[in-house]
Amino acid sequence: MTRAGFRCGPVVVLLGVVVLQGCSLVTRGQPGPAGPSGPAEAARASSQPPSGVDIADLLNTPDAVPRQEFKTRSGNPERYVQNGRRYSVLESSEGYVERGLASWYGEDFHGLRASSGERYDMYGMSAAHRSLPLPTYVRVTSLENGRSVVVRVNDRGPFVDTQQRIIDLSYTAALKLGVVGPGTMRVEVRALEPAAIERRERSMTPTVGFKLGEGKKGK
């Protein structure tokens, strides 16, 4: 997520000079329960779902189903700046494949506005990515346990450990993939093009037909 705001300490007036103490830029949506350099124990401590949530139900959550959608206005600037670093947004997700670390973000961001303008739902099958168009559907496959999920990318991130992390998963997606406990996991991210999927499905569907007037001829 890329929302940001200013948080300032008390304003002190001294000898006619206004001094702003403790002002800092606060960036919301820093992904990953362990934070920028927190230990794996922090991730495991945050791995328990909120009270009243059934893990079995979450594990049975269906994957996202790719479909053609328009790009969101708010989520697809040509370029954007986060934490002083400039990022570019791809014009298309076609042919995108990348390997790296997946992390996840959960309860602290649940209900906050995502970069697409939608509300983040930790129980949905979604993800954050720094450069893919919003929305984009991707298949995320663990290179450690072989599990695979399909998620809808509708947010920006991760912005922690950007040299290694390539995608930030929703809590449910991370749970299904096995990322919640360790906090991060090596994965392959492959973009899914709905139009290409539809064309492939149509080509594989057998067509049965007959010409009018044709039929069995009697003896």
> And the tokens for 145?
């346990």
The pTM score is: 0.71
Across-strand partners of 188?
A: 99, 141
| Backbone phi, psi, residue 170, to 5° | -65, 165
Amino acid at position 48, single letter: Q
* DSSP letter, residue 70: P
Indicate whether 33 pLDDT > 90: no
More confident residue, 159 or 210: 159
Average pLDDT over residues 160-176: 97
Amino acid at position 142, single letter: S
pLDDT in tens, 47-94: 666 667 889 999 999 999 999 999 999 999 999 999 999 999 999 999
* Domains assigned to the chain: 30-195 (2.40.40.10)
CB atoms within 10 A of CB 37: 8
- Grade residue 206 by pLDDT with cuts at 50, 70 and 90: low
